[in-house]
Amino acid sequence: MARRGCCCVGAVVLWRLHVPGPILVQLFGREPSHFHAAARVVAQLGFDGVDLNFGCPDKSVSGKQGAGSALIAEPTLAQDIVLAAKAGVAEGSKLAGLSEPIPVSVKTRIGVTSDVLDTWLQSLMVRSARRGCAAARGACRQGEGVASLCSWGGMMFLVCLVVLYLMVMMDAWLPHTPPHHQDVRPASITIHGRTRQEMSRVPAHWDVIARGAAAVRASGLPIVYMGNGDAMSYAHALDLAAAHGVDGVMMGRASFGTPWLFDERCV
């Protein structure tokens, strides 16, 4: 699903086939409100989870749209997107009669041009985000700047404070807005072991993926952490998981032409 879409007929058809095993829908974009709306629909349709694409390196996605892997350089926006998606699935799951919201996961890379996994993971694992507070600080700085340009500086500053108060209150009252103090942490994080710049031209940096796994374990957070990159078979994926301390391995290109790749009976 793209940022301006909500649902396609193909997705509904797949859902109605009752394919065994969990089926997730991956979303990409950069507008939190679009993620909220799409995640809400995904949950209502009965899918098993929402995966957020923070890793696509394609120029049409990360370049023209500022989506996919471009969000690694915008951690605050990425946090807002996670919050919006979680709020959306919470509403959709409730409407679908589910006792618990379906999970929200993230697929991303180790960086844009260099390895920034340590700080990037910390951004994704924070317990809460203060979107309203950040907006307030920005508005306050703008208000101070306006006040300094006016001869009626004191009066204008008071006006800015009133406007700031109304902005914060409106942000709290707006429907479908994630709470200011909400858990950002996704249920699962999958790290592709290359930067956006590297695309798939170099071997995946499984040593970096392993470093991320150690950081997640050290945090004690209940996050499923998976690696991705260069797994060529089911058996190879199991070996990579065991060697690098990840909870699982996501496989992509190796499945091209071999859809039975994920069946352990075909190892």
Burial class (CB in 10 A: 0-12, 13-18, 19+), 24: middle
Confidence of residue 205 (pLDDT cuts 50, 70, 90): very high
Lowest mean pLDDT among 20-24, 52-56, 247-251: 20-24
Rounded alpha-carbon distances, angstroms, from residue 43 to 49, 79, 234: 7, 20, 30
0.95 surpassed by pTM: no
Domain ranges of the chain: 9-129+182-266, 133-172
At residue 25, the 3 state secondary structure works out as strand
CATH superfamily of the domain spanning 9-129+182-266: Aldolase class I (3.20.20.70)
What pLDDT is recorded for position 254?
Answer: 87
What pLDDT is recorded for position 266?
Answer: 63
Confidence of residue 257 (pLDDT cuts 50, 70, 90): confident
Confidence of residue 182 (pLDDT cuts 50, 70, 90): confident
Please give the average per-residue pLDDT across 197-224, as a whole number.
96
